[in-house]
Structure 1
Amino acid sequence: MRRLLSKAVVIAATRDDEYPWRQNAHYILLILSFFLFLCFILGNYWLFSVHLPDFIPPFQQPRDYCDKILYLFAVGVHVLSHIVLVLLVLCSGCIYVWFRWRSVVDED
């Protein structure tokens, strides 16, 4: 969705556009990014606040249990997203330091 909206911003080069919503697409991207960030934070809270729930359905309320495969899949996806986020931050930091170092070396 974000990629589609970013393409809409690039296409909107003229002011006489028949789609006036393209001029406000950066606000839509901002709202969508905030919503996804909020979902990520709330998903972390909801998933990791219940550490190893009951995987066996109780006799009185059979709907109040967690499926083991679904829970482990959700934990795996969240852990993988955290790993990707950390790698992205580390690689961005390394690239920044490398470019700063190259600019200092080029000045000398």
Structure 2
Amino acid sequence: MSELQELMNQINEFTRERDWDQFHSPENLAKSIAIEAGELLECYQWSSEAKPKAVEEELADVLNYCLQMAAKLGLDPVEIVRKKMQKNAEKYPVDKSKGRSTKYDQL
């Protein structure tokens, strides 16, 4: 079993023990991801220097909810990221995008 699968099992057990799955609809998980991403962004609200511990904790919350949403939707996180990376590689070919932050439709 991969470390990712072990982590997802641990998250599932934590949720099951507390009977929280009833609250974890895809809609609620998407809202939670956005809320936690906002809290991560808040770490940088007034400065480009953030407290590393605060960033770590907020990033963990974002990842936790993302993994829960993937599980809820029956998606393999590794597979969906790999598919998206392939799509991004096609949209952003190295020869056109290297060193540039230009959006793909402007390359």
Report the TM-score range of the alignment, normalised by the length of the smaller protein: 0.3 to 0.5
Pick the structure with greater CA Rg. Answer: 1
TM-score, structure 1 normalization:
0.36
TM-score, structure 2 normalization:
0.37
